[in-house]
């Protein structure tokens, strides 16, 4: 038996899409195997097939050399496959132990859940694999990194030998990511096999023993990290040469565009999410805001955009106070906003591409002539933007919902980068976007900077922050806990500050 | 592409957008409900063939029948438009019945007491109806419009308040001289919406209703106001981020929606009864919800769905006389239509065996 899990010519077709085109895949026992690919490459479909969530149209699946039919996740679990989904599937109000045993509760006198036994078993399991967690804490009190550990425990509790992790690092801090990788290596060391889905190249080199690259539903190839470097893998993923590094010249900061003084804002649940923040962004520079998600970044952005009432503080744009201004007025004074959630905040998904491109200016001439919209002008303007920003869409009338994430994001960038922009507030501008689009968006942001725009960049992606920012401010629990120049910022230092630790050496 | 061609494309664009939607499933819903209705008729021991024949004759069998169908459809077009417009703006206005009732009452009062030269009496009466309806929708909107979920409750609660208020005013202040029934004095002849003939209840209101369809279509799909209204309706958060003021928008949406419901009442009062009659509405406001739902909130489809509902109401009377089947069968049919529209999966299951295959791929 060479392979613990094997897919032979696995094919899955959806209406209009060949999601998996005769894919051959082999997983060796005790290896960490990375599946690398852009959005839409077919990674998740393949994993869903291995976990019994979807049935292949043709092809075979072999587990320990025997052909199996994985008709349901329960069947896959019975064969020793466990999956950790990107959106963790835990119940916040229950404890770690309760979540782990869910559906497999140890029973006492055939009716009662044996909690003691459960807690003991889980503690033992956690110890065995170095997954440090207290089985009696409630999930809601745990940080995301630990919750993910619980998911892994859940799979191990069900005696999984094969672990599938779907983009596990997308929600983690650098430190948590490091811990996760250590865990994965430990698991592999004890004979478990791990499949690890990602589109981040760096991670592959840190943790994978082998790499399989998918593109457009096809298998492009398998390799070991020793055989490849980042740029050749990127080329395999995208199908052409990709510029991984952002090319930019030193910033030429000018006058102060955005000034924020002692800003405090409450979150939806009423606690103080932003607590006395002061910032300045100059024209021609990018100020990055680093932080673990949920430390007040979203509220900060909304407050600056006029979308959230302030508890206290004042905001100036080019010396003019805009503290009390409504969104539209702030926008009209030259502020563009790229919201963190493009589908919920950035686009009207049911609207066609052209309508979405005028969402911020439809009411102005020449699009609105008073009693009538001039749709011809709207179309002409939209066509121009679609061309300039390389938005791939079948037509201007296609609903925004039908476009890929990268193209949706390009639409928003195209819309927000227009018209005498003085300040761009960019929140997670490349989240969930494929490499090619990331490259394009980064170039647009740098170009906007070079043309004199001030940019406030909020991102959970440290690589992005470090590549783009001229200065970085770290936010922790609503406070700015560190300010660094691009040259001073290292992953290690940022990571410590993001966790609220002292930035100086240990 | 030549200039005229592109012009044509752009001109047709609003139209295509207005018609976009699940036409097929609405048609299927109607067919399915008639099939199930036939089973029910069979169960009662009657011939479905005879029943539907009687229904059809009652709705379209003569000029009189057809005009009654249109007369029934007239207020439904207005109330259907009211619900559809609000829906497009993201609010569920189920206060149509109350808005219609106070609209009818205000139109009657204006018709009785305002004496203006020429056509202005009629215009003033119609405007009074629209204003009263708008006010009746605006009150709950300004109180609770920031939370459209609550707005559903408050609009519905405004219904009994509106009808009972109008009935109270009628009973204690505006009963017609020597009236033996529950009604006001007739409106001034100049404020009457003329009928096409003495026998039929069909008035010029139908022309107003058709004009209303055009107006709502234009507002929704060719003005900046409509662009904003629909954007807020689809995604209020994105609208806010783009700088739109969704609360102000909701207020305007509700006011226009209420005005349309108020006009429905005004048109029935000024055209059919020519005075205010207590309890004059058999539920036009409620039926408007179904009319809009079946039309998928498309202004043009409303003429068909309101026509269908009007035909069923008109034909129901003949069905009862010709077959002894209770008029309530009509309500059963209408109820079935709503069920099938609201639960399209039932239809998909009934009409297509392989519906499971049509599921969309997962996101990668």
Query: Which ipTM value was assigned to this complex?
Result: 0.83
The whole-chain average pLDDT of chain A stands at: 90
Q: Is residue B347 part of a domain?
A: no
Chain A nearest CA to B157, separation (Å): 29
User: Considering only CA atoms, which of A179, A212, A204 is closest in space to residue A47?
Assistant: A212
Quote the CA–CA distance of A26 and A78 in Å, as a whole number: 20
Q: Is residue B269 part of a domain?
A: yes
Contact assignment for A346 to B224 by CB distance below 8 Å:
no
What pLDDT, on a 0 to 100 scale, did the predictor assign at position A316?
97
Of B235, B243, B245, the CB nearest to A348: B235
A261-274 pLDDT per residue, tens: 999 999 988 889 99
Q: Is residue B274 part of a domain?
A: yes
Whether the CB of A380 is below 8 Å from some CB of chain B: the reply is no
Quote the CA–CA distance of A166 and B8 in Å, as a whole number: 48
Rounded average pLDDT over B228-254: 93
Rounded average pLDDT over B85-90: 94
B34-43 pLDDT per residue, tens: 899 899 989 9
Chain B nearest CA to A348, separation (Å): 6
Number of Cβ within a 10 Å radius of residue A221: 14
Number of H helices, E strands in chain B: 15, 0
Of A45, A305, A373, the CB nearest to B227: A373
Nearest residue of B to residue A416 by CA position?
A: B242
Whether the CB of A347 is below 8 Å from some CB of chain B: the reply is yes
Number of separate domains in chain B: 1
Reply yes or no on domain A5-238 having CATH 3.40.50.300. Answer: yes
Phi, psi for residue B120 in degrees, rounded to 5: -70, -25
Range with the lowest mean pLDDT among A8-12, A365-369, A473-477, B357-361? B357-361
Which of A499 and B80 is assigned the larger pLDDT? B80
- On chain A, the residues whose CB falls within 8 A of the CB of B239 are 348, 359
- On chain A, the residues whose CB falls within 8 A of the CB of B363 are 44
Chain A nearest CA to B247, separation (Å): 13
Contact assignment for B235 to A347 by CB distance below 8 Å:
yes
B3 confidence band (pLDDT: 50, 70, 90): very low
User: Which residues constitute the domain of residue B141?
Assistant: 75-293
Q: At what angle do helices B284-294 and B299-323 cross, to 10 degrees?
A: 120
Mutate to test the interface with A, among B227, B230, B252, B355 (most CBs of A within 10 A): B227
Number of Cβ within a 10 Å radius of residue A92: 12
Q: Is residue B135 part of a domain?
A: yes
Quote the CA–CA distance of B24 and A398 in Å, as a whole number: 20
Q: In what order do the strands lie in the sheet with A335-338?
A: A335-338, A423-427, A454-458, A286-290, A471-476, A479-485
What pLDDT, on a 0 to 100 scale, did the predictor assign at position B355?
40
Chain A nearest CA to B191, separation (Å): 30
Residue count of chain B, please give it: 364
- On chain B, the residues whose CB falls within 8 A of the CB of A348 are 231, 234-235, 238-239
Whether the CB of A363 is below 8 Å from some CB of chain B: the reply is yes
What pLDDT, on a 0 to 100 scale, did the predictor assign at position B358?
42
Chain B residues in contact with chain A using a Cβ-Cβ cutoff of 8 Å:
6-7, 10, 13-14, 222-224, 227-228, 230-231, 234-235, 237-245, 358, 360-364
B102, B262 in Cβ contact below 8 A? yes
**What tokens were used for A169?**
């690092």
A111 confidence band (pLDDT: 50, 70, 90): confident
Quote the CA–CA distance of A455 and A446 in Å, as a whole number: 9
Nearest residue of B to residue A365 by CA position?
A: B224
B167-201 pLDDT per residue, tens: 999 999 999 888 788 999 999 999 999 998 888 89
B348 confidence band (pLDDT: 50, 70, 90): low
What pLDDT, on a 0 to 100 scale, did the predictor assign at position A133?
87
A354, A396 in Cβ contact below 8 A? yes
Quote the CA–CA distance of B268 and B74 in Å, as a whole number: 8
Nearby residues of B296 by Cβ (< 8 Å), 6 or more positions away: B21, B22, B23, B26
Nearby residues of A200 by Cβ (< 8 Å), 6 or more positions away: A169
B157 confidence band (pLDDT: 50, 70, 90): very high
- On chain B, the residues whose CB falls within 8 A of the CB of A355 are 227, 231
What pLDDT, on a 0 to 100 scale, did the predictor assign at position A210?
93
A6 confidence band (pLDDT: 50, 70, 90): very high
Range with the lowest mean pLDDT among A231-235, A305-309, A326-330? A231-235
B363 confidence band (pLDDT: 50, 70, 90): very low
Nearest residue of B to residue A198 by CA position?
A: B364
What pLDDT, on a 0 to 100 scale, did the predictor assign at position B21?
53
Reply yes or no on domain A254-334+422-500 having CATH 3.40.30.10. Answer: no
What pLDDT, on a 0 to 100 scale, did the predictor assign at position A503?
63
What pLDDT, on a 0 to 100 scale, did the predictor assign at position B68?
93
What is the SS3 assignment for A289? strand
Which run of H or E residues covers position A162? strand A162-166
Please list the residue range(s) of chain A that carry CATH number 3.40.50.300: 5-238, 254-334+422-500
- On chain B, the residues whose CB falls within 8 A of the CB of A332 are 243
What pLDDT, on a 0 to 100 scale, did the predictor assign at position B22?
66
Chain A nearest CA to B230, separation (Å): 9
A286-290 and A454-458 strand pairing: parallel
Rounded average pLDDT over B286-291: 92
Chain A nearest CA to B19, separation (Å): 14
Q: How far apart are the first and last CA of chain B?
A: 37
pLDDT at A100 over 70: yes
Contact assignment for A368 to B228 by CB distance below 8 Å:
no
Mutate to test the interface with B, among A375, A401, A424, A434 (most CBs of B within 10 A): A375
Contact assignment for B241 to A48 by CB distance below 8 Å:
no
Mutate to test the interface with A, among B224, B248, B356, B364 (most CBs of A within 10 A): B364
pLDDT at B1 over 70: no
A428-487 pLDDT per residue, tens: 999 878 888 888 999 999 999 999 999 999 998 888 999 999 999 999 999 999 999 988
B336-357: b (≥16 Cβ within 10 Å) or e: bbbebbeeeeebeeeeeeeeee
Which residue's entry shows tokens 């928003």?
A412
Chain B nearest CA to A255, separation (Å): 26
pLDDT at B274 over 60: yes
Whether the CB of A86 is below 8 Å from some CB of chain B: the reply is no
Whether the CB of A193 is below 8 Å from some CB of chain B: the reply is no
Chain A nearest CA to B182, separation (Å): 44
What is the SS3 assignment for A91? coil
Range with the lowest mean pLDDT among A20-24, B19-23, B103-107, B255-259? B19-23
**What tokens were used for B331?**
């309500």
pLDDT at A505 over 80: no
Q: Is residue B362 part of a domain?
A: no
CA angle A293, A297, A301 (to 5 degrees): 145
What is the SS3 assignment for B34? helix
A131-149 pLDDT per residue, tens: 888 888 898 888 878 888 8
A390: alpha, beta or left? (left if phi > 0; alpha if psi -120 to 50):
left
Chain A nearest CA to B11, separation (Å): 8
Range with the lowest mean pLDDT among A222-236, A323-337, A471-485, B98-112? A222-236
Chain B nearest CA to A375, separation (Å): 6
3-state secondary structure A36-82: ECCCCCCHHHHHHHHCCCCCCCEEEEEECCEEECCCCHHHHHHCCEE
**What tokens were used for B141?**
């909107």
Rounded average pLDDT over B71-84: 97
User: Considering only CA atoms, which of A506, A501, A504 is closest in space to residue A173?
Assistant: A501
Q: Is residue B17 part of a domain?
A: no
A30-77 pLDDT per residue, tens: 999 999 988 778 888 899 999 999 999 999 999 999 999 999 999 999
- C-alpha torsion A469→A470→A475→A481, nearest 10: 150
Contact assignment for A351 to B231 by CB distance below 8 Å:
yes
B134-147 pLDDT per residue, tens: 999 999 999 987 88
Range with the lowest mean pLDDT among A471-485, B39-53, B79-93, B107-121? B39-53
Quote the CA–CA distance of A135 and B221 in Å, as a whole number: 57
- On chain A, the residues whose CB falls within 8 A of the CB of B247 are none
What pLDDT, on a 0 to 100 scale, did the predictor assign at position A1?
56
Number of Cβ within a 10 Å radius of residue A222: 15
pLDDT at B124 over 80: yes
**What tokens were used for A133?**
């967690």
Rounded average pLDDT over B136-164: 91
Taking one residue from A and the other from B, the number of pairs with CB-CB distance under 8 angstroms is: 94
Mutate to test the interface with A, among B18, B19, B242 (most CBs of A within 10 A): B242
Contact assignment for A327 to B241 by CB distance below 8 Å:
yes
Contact assignment for A41 to B364 by CB distance below 8 Å:
yes
Nearest residue of B to residue A425 by CA position?
A: B241
What pLDDT, on a 0 to 100 scale, did the predictor assign at position B15?
58
Q: Is residue B32 part of a domain?
A: no
Nearest residue of B to residue A358 by CA position?
A: B242
Which run of H or E residues covers position A34? strand A32-36
Q: DSSP character for B297?
A: T
- On chain A, the residues whose CB falls within 8 A of the CB of B364 are 19, 39-45
């Amino acid at each position: 038996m060479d392979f613990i899990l094997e897919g032979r010519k696995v094919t899955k077709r959806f209406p209009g899409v060949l999601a998996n085109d005769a894919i051959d895949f082999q997983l060796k026992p005790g290896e960490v195997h990375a599946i690398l690919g852009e959005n839409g490459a077919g990674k998740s479909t393949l994993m869903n097939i291995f976990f019994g969530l979807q049935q292949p149209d043709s092809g075979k699946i072999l587990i320990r050399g025997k052909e199996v039919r994985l008709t349901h996740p329960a069947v896959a679990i019975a064969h020793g496959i466990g999956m950790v989904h990107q959106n963790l599937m835990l119940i916040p109000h229950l404890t770690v132990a309760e979540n782990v045993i869910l559906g497999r509760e140890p029973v006492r006198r055939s009716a009662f859940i044996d909690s003691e036994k459960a807690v003991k078993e889980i503690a033992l399991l956690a110890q065995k694999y170095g997954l440090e967690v207290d089985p009696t804490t409630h999930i809601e009190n745990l940080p995301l990194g630990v919750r993910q550990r619980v998911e892994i425990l859940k799979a191990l509790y069900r005696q999984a030998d094969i672990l599938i992790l779907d983009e596990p690092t997308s929600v983690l801090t650098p430190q948590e990511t490091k811990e996760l990788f250590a865990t994965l290596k430990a698991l592999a060391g004890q004979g478990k096999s791990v499949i690890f889905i990602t589109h981040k190249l760096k991670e592959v080199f840190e943790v994978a023993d082998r790499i399989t690259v998918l593109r457009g539903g096809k298998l492009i190839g398998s390799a070991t990290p020793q055989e490849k470097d980042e740029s050749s893998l990127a080329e395999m993923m995208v199908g052409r040469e990709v510029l991984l590094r952002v090319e930019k010249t030193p910033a030429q900061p000018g006058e102060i565009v955005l000034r924020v003084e002692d800003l405090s804002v409450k979150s939806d649940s009423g606690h103080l999410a932003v607590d006395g923040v002061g910032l300045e962004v100059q024209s021609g520079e990018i100020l990055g805001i680093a932080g673990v998600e949920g430390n007040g970044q979203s509220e900060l952005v909304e407050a600056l955009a006029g979308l959230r009432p302030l508890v206290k503080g004042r905001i100036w744009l080019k010396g003019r106070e805009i503290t009390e201004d409504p969104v539209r007025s702030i926008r009209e004074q030259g502020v563009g906003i790229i919201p963190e959630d493009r589908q919920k905040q950035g686009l009207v998904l049911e609207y066609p591409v052209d309508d979405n491109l005028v969402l911020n200016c439809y009411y102005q001439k020449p699009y609105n002539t008073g009693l009538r919209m001039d749709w011809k002008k709207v179309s002409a303007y939209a066509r121009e933007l679609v061309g300039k920003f390389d938005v791939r869409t079948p037509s201007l009338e296609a609903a925004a919902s039908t476009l890929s994430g990268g193209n949706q994001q390009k639409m928003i960038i195209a819309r927000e980068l227009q018209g005498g922009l003085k300040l761009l507030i960019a929140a997670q501008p490349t989240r969930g976007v494929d490499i090619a689009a990331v490259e394009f968006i980064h170039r647009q942001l740098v170009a906007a900077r070079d043309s004199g725009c001030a940019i406030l960049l909020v991102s959970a992606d440290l690589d992005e922050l470090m590549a783009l920012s001229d200065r970085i401010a770290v936010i922790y629990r609503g406070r700015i806990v560190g300010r660094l120049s691009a040259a001073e910022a290292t992953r290690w230092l940022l990571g410590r500050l993001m966790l609220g630790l002292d930035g100086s050496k240990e | 592409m030549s200039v005229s061609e592109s012009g044509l494309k752009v001109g047709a664009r609003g139209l295509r957008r207005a018609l976009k939607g699940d036409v097929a499933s609405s048609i299927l819903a109607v067919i399915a409900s008639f099939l199930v209705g036939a089973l029910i008729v069979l169960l009662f021991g009657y011939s479905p063939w005879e029943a539907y024949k009687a229904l059809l004759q009652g709705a379209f069998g003569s000029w009189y029948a057809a005009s009654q169908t249109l007369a029934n459809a007239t207020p439904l077009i207005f109330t259907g438009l009211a619900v559809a417009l609000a829906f497009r703006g993201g609010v569920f206005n189920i206060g149509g019945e109350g808005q219609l009732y106070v609209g009818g009452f205000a139109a009657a009062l204006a018709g009785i007491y305002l004496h203006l030269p020429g056509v202005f009496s009629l215009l003033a009466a119609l405007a009074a109806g629209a204003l009263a309806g708008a006010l009746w929708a605006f009150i709950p909107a300004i109180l609770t419009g920031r939370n459209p979920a609550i707005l559903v409750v408050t609009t519905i609660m405004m219904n009994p308040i509106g009808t009972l208020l109008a009935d109270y005013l009628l009973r204690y202040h505006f009963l017609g001289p020597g009236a033996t029934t529950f009604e006001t004095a007739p409106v001034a002849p100049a404020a009457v919406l003329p009928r096409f003939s003495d026998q039929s209840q069909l008035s010029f209101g139908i022309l107003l209703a058709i004009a209303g369809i055009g107006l709502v279509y234009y507002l929704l799909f060719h003005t900046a106001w409509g662009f904003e209204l629909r954007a807020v309706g689809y995604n209020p958060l994105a609208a806010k981020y783009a700088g739109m003021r969704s609360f102000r928008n909701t207020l305007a949406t509700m006011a226009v929606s209420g005005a349309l419901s108020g006009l429905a009442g005004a048109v029935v009062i000024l055209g059919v009864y020519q005075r205010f009659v207590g309890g004059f509405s058999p539920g036009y406001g409620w039926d408007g919800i179904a009319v809009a739902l079946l039309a998928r909130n498309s202004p043009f489809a409303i003429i068909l769905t309101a026509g269908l509902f009007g035909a069923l109401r008109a034909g129901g009377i003949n069905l009862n006389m010709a077959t002894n089947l209770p008029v309530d069968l009509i309500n059963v049919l209408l109820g079935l239509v709503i069920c099938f529209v609201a639960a399209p999966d039932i239809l998909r299951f009934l009409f297509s065996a392989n519906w499971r295959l049509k599921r969309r791929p997962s996101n990668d």
